[in-house]
Structure 1
Amino acid sequence: MTQQQQLTPHLLLVDDDTSLLRLLTIRLEGEGFTVTAVEDGQSALKKVRSDSIDVVLSDLRMPGLDGLSLFEEIMGLRQDLPVILMTAHGTIADAVEATQRGVFGFLTKPVDHDELRNMLKKALSHSQAAQPGDWAKNIITRSPEMLNVLDQAYRIAKREVSVLISGASGTGKELLANAIHKASDRHDKPFVAINCGALPENLLESELFGHAKGAFTGAVQANAGLFREADGGTLFLDEIGDMPMTLQVKLLRALQERQIRPVGSSKHVDIDVRIISATHKDLQKEMEEGTFREDLYYRLNVVNLKLPSLKARSEDIPLLARSLLQQSAERHQVDVSQFSDDAMQMLVKADWPGNVRQLVNVVEQCVALTQTPVVPLHLVEQALSSSRQSWPTLTEARDAFEQQYLHKLLKMTDGNVTRAAELAGRNRTDMHKLMKKHELEASDYRDRQSEES
């Protein structure tokens, strides 16, 4: 959005009542808007396609394409465009349906001018916050909480500070990190991401810091590592809470000295990267339990951005669902354009423990199975049911395996932690930390053995 557009926002006014159209046009132009007024939904769609519109104010009840149908069509063209509906015959049911579908606001006629002015101001500020300079174009939202996060992210993007993004799995932490990178002065340099919980400790160290040729078995050639790959740009450390303690020490030293030493090398290499990290864990609790270094925490957590769950931003669900549906339909080259009304209501009311990642999975299943252009309710019910038993992330799978492994190990050694540590190739301290992480008690295994004997 250009500076001129921000000074004179362009409003599209749609109403089949020509006298009201003239009156509102005069009032809104007096408020500083550039107003384009049309009398029907089809004309409005043409303007959305051809003009740079900042907000739409439309009547709900119109011949032909009514206000809600017009909104659905607009969302297929521009997910970022706020739509406010007006009606002389408004009911609570109308307002609930409109907001569930993602309509920005709902006003009853005769329109109170102060209420309209405040709603337009809020719609424009939200629209501008979500799309400053196109940096966050991949983040679809109208949620005040999410827009507040975006506003904070935009303000700190150009500052050379480390950012820690916290939030549950599937909330879009990497997407936000990438948006911060795009809004920063490093946007023309690489954005490099790695999941710290997805690799064993030795491989993670090599991936991050690089290694010299012959540093270990299989190192047939030198590897620069991700720090150097991200030179001048941004390195995103996802699931930083899963990083082993020994690597936390090395990472802290690299951040303090702005140098790294590749595995198997005696030479230090200067680095110039911005660090953005993310975690679904409570790092304060991890510090108390001794599994995360306090000095590293304060080095990484200069600014903390907390992403809300999808359930907490339910007004975004219709917008996200439509966008994902359109993308999936195009990718699979199938003719599916929308969800039925009851299917959309079910999406809005669902719990979404897997957040946006789960929504992506549900929409993909619906597109794969639907045989009609409109996704019916029963397919959404089916997809929601199967997604509750969805495939775990690599971190979740590793944690589940680790817990099962420890359980078998302690059972096999009758709760003897020293013996278990020896078999696992770990020391007693590491073993106790792992047992505490998975809430396992050695005495439980000793008691069980004595009872069986």
Structure 2
Amino acid sequence: MEMKTLLVVDDNQDILEAVRLLMRKSVDEVVTSSTPDSIPMLLRKHKPQVVLLDMNFRAVVNTGNEGLFWLQEIRRLSPQTSVVLFTAYADVKLAVEGMKLGAVDFVVKPFENSVLMEVLKRAFGDKGMPGSKAASHMLWGSSESMVSLRKIVDRVAATDANILITGENGTGKDLLAREIHRLSLRCRGPIETVDMGAVVESLFESELYGHVKGAFTDARADRAGKFETAHGGTLFLDEIGNIPYHLQAKLLTALQQRMVVRVGSNTPRPIDIRLICATNRDLPQMVAEGKFRQDLYYRINTIHIELPSLRDRSDDIPEFVDLFLHKYAKVYGKDVPMVSDDAMRRLKSRQWPGNIRQLEHVVEKALIMCDGDMLRAEDFELFDEPASALAAAGGTLEDIERRTIVASIHQHNGNLAEVARQLGITRQTLYNKIKKYGL
């Protein structure tokens, strides 16, 4: 078990002692320092997983700029270390700026013990744990398309504008939604997610708007819907293109009026949410075909962000492979193997219809089966067709997607759970696509 070390850097000795006493039973070692100049040495000597960093060290300069400088230094010297910002000023914009620069969270002084402990607990939990916050962080990469996209996200995240994220399955639309929330002024509030492709029509209103006791047979108690539980934060509606047409008007009404009425009640409840939607479908085409309301499309599409497919950012594949290898090496208790140049070339040449999610599954399986210190091309379960062959096959992306699904169904003898896993999509999404393509 890795030793948990917390480094606290603050020029107030009382705070240093208070945090040390508070955290001494929760971590193995609490290292304290009253001067940020010691940070490089302490990082080398103690290798802390988490740094609690004050943002102001000079009594006459209270802008937080020194804290931002040392945040960037920590990220440069020890990229794997999580940084939590500590500030006596409830300046959310400054804290958000810090989170844009890589901080995982912030705490406002004077602090509540329970709040500080919970924030630090999450920060430690980020380090390599499957399903943890860090495992779900956005990996931007360095490709030109993602560098441009990140600039857009940095500009719009701090606003309350509705955002529509589009892109193929497995490109990370859900991760981008969470990243936007993390960088927004609502970052301290909740983010609620609804997979609209998995919501049963009969429960649509109950899921989104809530219900009161006795509203229907199984309504045994009052229940808040997602609009209410996301109050003060972000509501993320995934697969927005799957909402049946006759229910779209009800969603539009809630968004326009900024209030909801629980099923079985007549009392309107005000809502305060930032809306982010995502889809892999062509909404303008659906509007033209009368399958999606034009007014709803305009309402959710104040800002449109298109996530590129993995084949359009192949230069980022080595970063993803390295991330997934380290992630699953910890999960399965294995050493991190190297990847041969030939294997990496083949990985970069693939079409990846399941995008990043598919690549993750391929890397995970290769690591599980690996019995040496080098992963070669044959260790990765890849599609038979290289990117050039799929391109030569012609047709639209939907044609390619349909053929890929058919081939996978045959390959797995109709086992849809394995098909969904190979393609890197949920079973519900697979069922929707099977229905869509009449398979």
Band the TM-score falls in, shorter-chain normalisation: 0.5 to 0.7
Q: Residue 134 of structure 1: CA displacement? A: 4.4
**Are 2:277 and 1:277 equivalent residues in the alignment?**
yes
Instruction: Please give the residue correspondences for 1:20-35 in structure 2 after superposition, counting only pairs within 5 Å.
Output: none
Aligned-residue offset at 1:160: 1.4
C-alpha deviation, 1:336, in angstroms: 2.7
- 2:429 paired with 1:396: yes
- Kindly provide the amino acid, as one letter, of the partner of residue 359 in structure 2: L
Q: Does 1:310 align with 2:272?
A: no
* Inter-partner Cα distance in structure 1 for 2:345 and 2:283: 36
Match of 2:13 in 1: none
Deviation at 1:79, TM superposition (A): 8.9
CA distance in 2, matches of 1:339, 1:345: 10
TM-aligned CA distance change 1:55 to 1:162, over 3 Å: closer
Structure 2 Cα separation of the partners of residues 79 and 131 of structure 1: 16
SS of residue in 2 equivalent to 1:344 = helix
8 A Cα contact 1:131 1:137, kept in partner: no
Q: 1:132 offset after TM fit, Å?
A: 3.4
> How far apart in 2 are the matches of 1:359 and 1:78?
24
Q: Are 2:337 and 2:372, in contact at CA under 8 Å, matched by a contact in 1?
A: no
Q: Counterparts in 2 of 1:174-193, with a 5 A limit?
A: 174-193=174-193
Specify the alignment match of 2:399 in structure 1.
none
Post-superposition, which runs of at least 4 consecutive aligned residues in structure 1 deviate over 6 A? 49-56
Secondary structure at the residue paired with 1:192? Answer: strand
- Name 1:238's counterpart in structure 2: 238
Q: Distance in 2 between matches of 1:131 and 1:383?
A: 36
Corresponding position of 1:358: 358
Q: Contact 1:79–1:140 (CA<8 Å) still a contact in 2? A: no
Matched AA of 1:221: A
Give CA deviations for 1:238-287 in whole Å, capped at 9, x if unaligned: 01000112321111111111000111211111100000001100100001
State the distance in 1 between where 2:75 and 2:176 align: 25
CA contact (8 A) 1:365 1:383 kept: no
**Separation of aligned partners in 1, 2:268 and 2:290:** 29
Corresponding pairs, count: 293
Residue aligned with 1:397, SS: helix
CA 186–317 in structure 1, closer or farther in 2 if over 3 Å, else same: same
Report the counterpart of residue 287 of structure 1 in structure 2.
287
Which structure 2 residues correspond to residues 125-204 of structure 1 after superposition, within 5 A? 132-134=101-103, 138-204=138-204
- Computing the radius of gyration from Cα coordinates, the structure with the larger value is 1
Whole-Å separation in 2 of the counterparts to 1:400 and 1:319: 30
**2:341 alignment partner in structure 1:** 341
**Identical positions, percent:** 39
In the alignment, what sits opposite 1:373?
373
Cα RMSD for the two superposed structures: 3.2
Give distance in 2, aligned partners of 1:212 and 1:294: 32
**CA-CA distance at 1:138 after TM superposition:** 3.0
Q: Distance in 1 between matches of 2:79 and 2:101?
A: 15
Is residue 140–residue 147 contact of structure 2 (8 Å, CA) maintained in 1?
A: no
Structure 2 vs 1, CA of residues 155 and 361 (structure 1 numbering), >3 Å: closer, same or farther?
Answer: same
| Equivalence for 2:93 | none
Give SS of 2:140's match. coil
- Which residue of 2 is the match for residue 265 of structure 1? 265
In structure 2, the residue matched to 1:222 is: 222
**Alignment-mate amino acid for residue 398 of structure 1:** Y
| Alpha carbons 2:197, 2:429 under 8 Å: kept | no
CA distance in 2, matches of 1:193, 1:310: 24
Q: CA deviation at 1:379?
A: 1.0
Deviation at 1:396, TM superposition (A): 3.4
SS in 2 for 1:168: coil
Q: Tell me, what secondary structure is at the counterpart of 2:353?
A: coil
Q: 1:402 to 1:383 in 2, by over 3 A?
A: closer
296-305 or 195-204, which deviates more: 195-204
1:132 is matched by which residue type in structure 2?
L
Report the equivalent of 1:121.
none
Whole-angstrom distance in 2 between the partners of 1:134 and 1:384:
38
Q: Give 1:408's aligned residue.
A: none
Unpaired segments ≥5 residues, structure 2: 1-43, 49-69, 82-96, 105-135, 386-403, 409-418
1:308-353 Cα offsets, whole Å, 9 max, x none, are: 0000001100011101110011111112332122211211111111
Q: Contact 1:336/1:375 (CA < 8 Å) preserved in 2?
A: no
- Compute the displacement of 1:225 (Å): 1.0
Equivalent pair of 1:366/1:383 in contact (CA under 8 Å): no
Paired residue secondary structure (2:211): coil
Q: Using the TM superposition, give the Cα deviation of residue 373 of structure 1 relative to its aligned residue in structure 2, in angstroms.
A: 2.5
Rounded Cα–Cα distance in structure 2 between residues aligned with 1:379 and 1:385:
14
Alpha-carbon distance between aligned partners in 1 of 2:140 and 2:251, rounded to the nearest angstrom: 33
